[in-house]
A and B are shown apart, each in its own frame.
Chain A
Amino acid sequence: MTEAIVQTVDLVKSFAVRRGFFAQRKTRLYAVDRVSLSINAGETLGLVGESGCGKSTLGLTLMQLYEPTSGQVYFDGDNLVGMPSAQLNKVRRKMQMIYQDPYAALDPRMNIEEILTEPMIIHGIGTRHERLAEARRLMDIVGLPQDALGRFPSEFSGGQQQRIGIARALMLQPKLIICDEPVSSLDVSVQAQILNLLRDLQKEFDLTYLFISHNIAVTRFMSRRIGVMYLGRLTEIGPGATIVEQPRHPYTQALISAVPDPQPTDTRRQRRLSGDVPSPIDRPSGCTFHPRCPFAQAECANTEPQLRPFGPEHFVACHFAEKTAATTS
């Protein structure tokens, strides 16, 4: 359980953007900024943060669907950055993705059999017979009826479409699955079915997940460890219970306390962030969170904090993480 299957080192993904009158001014948007993390074989790493924090871009860059601007991505010991595409395609079999909108991720003109067998055809695996048998087996595993094979995506409910997306991701027997908001478009009763299914599959096939979500409760249910991102930076990472119950970074604390708790209490919790998330194009200097941070000091605007260890597997990027702890809870 301690062997890392994925590791990123100072991974950066930036995009060129044009701003100003007639878009004359060129600048760069750092969607993912020097993120280093690793995921152990068989574990789930959750990634949370608000829109625009770079969590989805990190997933896509990790898959090499975006070419990293700089930094390294190691998968199963190989560096994927700069790998020849023929070799990369072989490695990609072992990494699959599940998307937020299952319907958009399925070709509406292909029936389920075609959707499920396509990845095997592309990678030249098996005979027609074997591919069909594999599709049947996975339909069963994800809880879809056998007669669904001849039908089209639009004939299924959102939850069933997500099951199809999961079955397709499993067709090539991957080691790593990147789940990008896989239950965000589903109702809670259906969401619970899909979350349970993902956990069952993880045990059965010894899968490693990167679970990306804006929903912290969902992420905690799924993940052993959770990473928190803000404006492209990884601000805190640690075991799920630590991140939720004893967060050290002021942003994590605000994020957790903003989650509406389905246990009615007499008082609403007080810690509120003011203002909006700044634009990722004009990120604040130093610690990018400092303009909204209740603990900010002069140093925070000048020096960018790096991740520091705080406990077993727990790292925080805050100059004053020792102080924030006293005021938690």
Chain B
Amino acid sequence: MNEPLLEVKNLQVRFYLSERTVYAVNDVSFTVEPGQVVGLVGESGCGKSVTSLAIMRLIQKPGRIDAGQILLRERNKTVDLLRLSTKEIEQVRGNRISMIFQDPMTSLNPVLTIGYQLMEPLKLHRGLSAEEARREAVRLLARVGIPEPEGRLKEYPHQYSGGMRQRVMIAMAAACSPDLLIADEPSTALDVTIQAQILDLLLELKQDLGTAIIIITHDLGVIAEMAQKVVVMYAGTVVESGPIKTIFSTPQHPYTEALMYSIPPLHAAPERLATIKGAPPLILAELTHCPFEPRCAKRIARCAEERPPLLELEPDHACACWVAQAQIGEVQ
């Protein structure tokens, strides 16, 4: 068993709005091993993006990280990212952990050339000279599959297509060979054929640089093609996590199961889709029960009274459900 590269432990993030407090991330724990692709999946508002922003320490007011640890392993020691100073965390960002977002246009400055935006961090982070940075920028653009990289350095973001902009973001993220890349819905805004290219490119980078990837998506298909491990989130909690094959073939949490069957299959033509009644809740208080209980088809009395902990049902496969845990208990 590998030492984890990243360990998120009991993370809590809340947003203190004037009229109410939103409990966005409630006690989230998971690990990422070196070079592993971990998929963080869930519907809008489940806390998957907030979790990733917390790892980068990018939560802004009125949001606040209230508790937990984010342990990043560095050679022989482990640092808690939540305890680093602003200066220290800036060293981690970009160098050891990089992030790419759904909409590259919001991350690129529209009035600066692609070349400038690519070369600037190379000079700052890696101390390259102007000429070295230019050569490295050309190499990076070529690496992510931009044709005629020399000429395209002088162009502005709007002259690039959506898929090419995302390639530029990946080039920037890869520039410092980070240990961990967080990709937040990296292909959601793209057409499927372009999405396939971008996902291939991410996997190539993982192979070349040994970068671990946390991929955040609502698309279970993307997870299935990319990840080795999947973490399913609901209402700011981890409801189930484990190896991808286990989760997809024998999901134990009723939410995971319902999510799987509510997606129309490509290679079959069922009469109806399974549905989950209602919509995901907004959590406005400390969770004292299972957040999925009101929508759950398998609920028992205990679900409304006590919050189920995330327990291992078998090695590596954890599930936060009283019913699933009781079933495993009976089998053993």
| B window 218-238: CB within 8 A of A | 218-225
Chain A contacts for B196, CB-based, 8 A: 257-258, 260, 272-273
Given the interface pairs A187-B44, A189-B43, A276-B163, the reply to whether A220 lies near B218 with Cβ below 8 Å is no
Is A50 a contact partner of B264 (Cβ separation < 8 A)? no
Q: Mark A237-262, 1 if CB is under 8 A from B, else 0.
A: 00011001100000000111111111
Which residues in chain B, 88-119, are within 8 Å of chain A measured between CB atoms?
A: none
Binds A, one of B53-61, B129-137, B269-277: B269-277
Nearest-neighbour CB distance to chain B for A126, whole angstroms, equals: 33
B224 touches A260 (CB 8 A): yes
Over the window 167-189 of chain A, the binary record of Cβ atoms lying under 8 Å from chain B Cβ atoms (1 yes, 0 no) is: 00000000000000000000111
Give bound CA distance, A221 to B279, whole Å. Answer: 22
- Pick from B245, B263, B274: contact of A262, CB below 8 A: B263
- B142 contacts chain A at the CB level, 8 A cutoff: no
Chain A contact residues: helix, strand, loop or mixed: helix
Contacts A189-B262, A276-B161: A262 and B248 contacting too (C-beta < 8 A)? yes
CB <8 Å contact, B266 and A216: yes
Residues of A in contact, count (CB < 8 Å): 42
Q: Is B221's CB under 8 angstroms from A240's CB?
A: no
Q: Which residues of B121-169 are within 8 A (CB) of A?
A: 161, 163-164
Q: Specify the chain A residue showing the minimal Cβ separation from B262.
A: A192
Nearest chain B CB to A329 CB, angstrom units: 11
* CA gap between A298 and B219 in the complex, in Å: 39
B267 contacts the other chain (CB 8 A): yes
Are A221 and B269 in contact, CB atoms less than 8 angstroms apart?
Answer: yes
Within the assembled complex, what's the spacing in Å between the Cα atoms of A257 and B225? 12
| A196 lies within 8 A of B273 (CB) | yes
| Residue from B163, B266, B272, B279 within 8 A of A159 (CB atoms) | B279
Nearest A residue to B272, CB-CB: A196
Quick check: B273 and A258 within 8 Å, CB to CB?
no
- Is B287 at the interface (CB under 8 A from chain A)? no
For the complex formed, measure the closest distance between the CB of A48 and the CB atoms of chain B, giving whole angstroms.
9
The answer on a CB contact under 8 Å between A192 and B275 is yes
Q: Does chain B have a CB within 8 A of A70?
A: no
Q: 28 interchain pairs (CB within 8 A)?
A: A157-B279, A159-B279, A187-B218, A188-B220, A189-B43, A189-B258, A189-B276, A192-B262, A195-B273, A196-B273, A199-B271, A214-B191, A214-B192, A216-B266, A220-B266, A221-B273, A241-B269, A256-B266, A259-B221, A260-B196, A260-B224, A261-B221, A262-B260, A262-B265, A263-B224, A272-B197, A274-B197, A277-B191
By a beta-carbon cutoff of 8 Å, the part of chain B in contact with chain A is 43-44, 161, 163-164, 191-197, 199-200, 203, 218-225, 244-245, 248, 258-260, 262-267, 269-276, 279-280
